[in-house]
Structures are given as C-alpha cells and as structure tokens.
Amino acid sequence: MEIQPNSAAPAALSSPRKSATISSDFETFLKMLTVQMQNQDPLNPIDSSDYAVQLATFSGVEQQVRTNQILSDLSELLGGSGLGQAAQWIGKDVLAVAPASFAGDPLTIEIPAARRAESLALIVRDAGGAVVATGPIPPGAASVDWDGTDAYGQRPSEGLYRFSVRDAADASYEETPAAVYARVSEVRAGDDGLVFTLPGGIEVPFSEVTGVRAGV
C-alpha cells in the first residue's frame, strides 16, 4: 500500500479581517513559545517533541479556523442566490467524511487536525466494512493520497471505500474517521439546504462539507 503526502490546501475565501486575526494569533503563539524557551530550566529543558506537538496542534486549529471561514463565506454567497449559483459547485472537489468511490485515480484523504502530531496508520475499508489496506502516515502530514493498492501491492476492486486513522503502534486504539475529497457531479436543493451528489451516487449535505478545492 503506497501513501503519499499531499500538500494541496482548500481554496481560500476568508476575509482580510479574519486572516489578520489568524496571523496575529500565530505571532502571539510564537512569542509565547519563544518566552517559554528562554525561561526554561537549563538543567531540565523542555523536550523538543513537546514543541513539535504544540506547533502541530496550533497549525491544525489554524487550518480548521480558515476552513470554517471559507465555508461560512460560501454559505453567505449561496444563501441569497439559489441554485443558479449552486451550479458553480459542479466539477469541484469537496471534502467530507463519507464513502469515496475508487475508480483507478488516487484519492486524497485529510488527516484529522487533532491527530497530526501522532504516529498514525491509515485504515481503508470496503463497502462491507472489511479492512482492505493499512499503511503508515508520514509524521505531520495534513493529507495523503491513496493509490488504491493494498498491503501486498494489489489493487482492490473499484467501488466505495471508507477511511480512518488510528495509532500506528496499537491497533486496539479507537479509530478516527477521516474525510476524503470527491468530485461533485450534481447539486440539488434538500430540505435543509444544498445536497451534493458525488461519484458512486453518494449524497452529502452542504453542512457536512469541510473543505473545497478546484477539480484536479
């Protein structure tokens, strides 16, 4: 099973005011971290791994704040314009925790922000819930690409698959569902807002979408 880090990020639509706030918060965080380093006990210094965890945690929170603002901006744009504007979603890749259709092209899986500082393994399950592949996730990766191969280098059948992450060293730990990007083929109005149709006939409401990018 081959897993590759993916550096692509969701499209940014956040307002200048929100971006400035995030930037200010990050600068404050770095100042606090610097003061912490300067005032640590030289006979008992803080372990470097603790700094790495703090940086990874803040980075994950920062990205989630940006994503929430993106979706808020999109919701405002679509709120007063109806399905005419909703057609702009067709052909875009949206991110959601949902089954994804594998048809030969790699799938991009988002690693949950709260767990990126851990040593993790990606778990791939078929539509029946059986594990078809597992593999290590590069430390600190925000997202990875699954090329469809299993632990033996074989490609499973085309179909729907779900993704999750767990502790790489202990399989008994609880798994955390992971979101995956999928192409929007249809948009319709549901009872509670827009509903996106994805490959394999999967339907995802707008409220469950956590990211969007141009179709790749």
Q: What is the mean pLDDT of each run of 10 residues along the chain (216 residues)?
A: 58 45 64 77 72 68 68 58 70 94 91 86 92 88 88 80 90 88 90 87 91 82
Q: Is residue 171 part of a domain?
A: no
Domain that holds residue 54: 16-82
Give residue 81's pLDDT.
Answer: 47
Give residue 116's pLDDT.
Answer: 83
Q: Is residue 54 part of a domain?
A: yes
Q: Is residue 44 part of a domain?
A: yes
Q: Is residue 169 part of a domain?
A: no
Tell me the two tokens of residue 153: 């280098």
In terms of Cβ atoms closer than 10 Å to its own Cβ (0-12, 13-18, 19+), residue 15 is exposed
Q: Is residue 98 part of a domain?
A: no
Give residue 16's pLDDT.
Answer: 46
Give residue 101's pLDDT.
Answer: 94
Give residue 139's pLDDT.
Answer: 83
Give residue 4's pLDDT.
Answer: 62
Q: Is residue 57 part of a domain?
A: yes
| Helix intervals (H) in the chain | 16-38, 48-79, 83-86
Q: Is residue 76 part of a domain?
A: yes
How many structural domains are present in the chain?
1
Q: Which residues pair with 146 in a beta bridge?
A: 3, 107
Q: Is residue 36 part of a domain?
A: yes
Do 186 and 196 touch, CB atoms closer than 8 A?
Answer: yes
Strands (E), the chain: 3-5, 93-96, 100-102, 107-110, 120-126, 131-136, 143-146, 159-167, 176-177, 179-183, 186-190, 193-198, 202-205, 211-213
What's the whole-model pTM score?
0.63
